Amino acid sequence: MDIPTRSSACLAPRAFSSGRMPVFLCRALFVGASLLGACHRAEQRDVAAVRDDFGAPVTIAAAPRRIVSLNPTTTEVLFAIGAGSRVVGRSMYDAFPESAIAVPSLGAALRPNVEAIIGARPDLVVLYASQDNRAAADRLRQAGIATAALRIDSIAQFERDTRLLGRLTRDSAQAATVVDSVRATLDRVRAATETLPRPTVFFHTWDRPLITIGGGSFLNELVDIAGGRNVYADLPGPSGIVTIEDVVRRNPDFVLASPITAASIRSDPRWQAVPAVRGGHVLVFDTTIVGRPSVTLGAAARSLADLLHPGVVH
């Protein structure tokens, strides 16, 4: 709807300089103004209809100028869609992009300090939709602050909530561009790997207790897109606690781990019971790209594909 506004601004001065306005221009301006009004009303209805992942309505009358985002994923998304300059508070874990580090940290992402958040004078707060944050979300809404609790645990949720943040910040076009760009890379990686043999993978995320990804995780989706098969895809949630003995039983072709964890696995005698470890099939993933369901999802899929099927994705 920016085009009619610019057209009117360019044409109207010349019409008035002649002392009269042509009928067609008068009509065009009227139609343009009507369209702008309708677009504005539709946008307001669209934003008013937003509900977060707690099912609570998120009502914000104008584009927010001061945003607190206590979620590494949503903070990165806000910067990607052009709203980074309006972020005035983050959690201690929000480190991407690098420019986000300059934003004041307000502490924990779960059970946050509500007083610290209010002290930042935000007109929009974005929280992770964990039950640990429900009380904080309620208190912030009671204080009159628009609050959105979002749970981004899958690629579909990333796409949905990136568009939702675009609507809330009035950056819908840029949000759509980000989503489309990520989706295009995911599709390209999937197309490159879909006909290849699918090696089985154990994805290590934590050691004590031993935790891996389940079928409900975006990481499970990335492994699939990259041309692998998660040996714990049958776990219904995003993650689950397992045992080395069960990993041995499931006998993955590869073990995926972070650089630090990979070194620990290779040197730990317990892990030598896993054939993939004993055979030197421990693959190290890039923790700066893989590990968060954000704007790096496409790059993460490609990175994993390069480990499982080197040279396949061009």
Domain ranges (residues) in the chain: 2-43, 67-170, 194-308
pLDDT value of residue 59? 87
Residues 6+ apart with CB under 8 A from 174: 80, 81, 82, 166
pLDDT value of residue 19? 42
Mean pLDDT value across residues 259-278 = 96
Domain 194-308 falls under CATH 3.40.50.300: no
The tens digit of pLDDT for each residue in 166-194 reads 999 999 999 999 999 999 999 999 999 99
Same CATH topology for 67-170 and 194-308? yes
Angle at 205 between CA 291 and CA 253, to 5 degrees: 100
Give the type of residue at 125.
Answer: V
The yes-or-no verdict on residue 34 having pLDDT over 90 is no
CA 143 to chain centre: 27
List the structure tokens of 174: 């840029």
Q: How confident is the model at residue 50 (pLDDT cuts 50, 70, 90)?
A: confident
Report the C-alpha gap between 22 and 11 in whole angstroms. 11
Mean pLDDT value across residues 109-115 = 97
Q: How confident is the model at residue 257 (pLDDT cuts 50, 70, 90)?
A: very high
Indicate the CATH number of 67-170 among 3.40.50.1980, 3.90.1170.40, 3.40.1380.10, 3.40.50.620: 3.40.50.1980
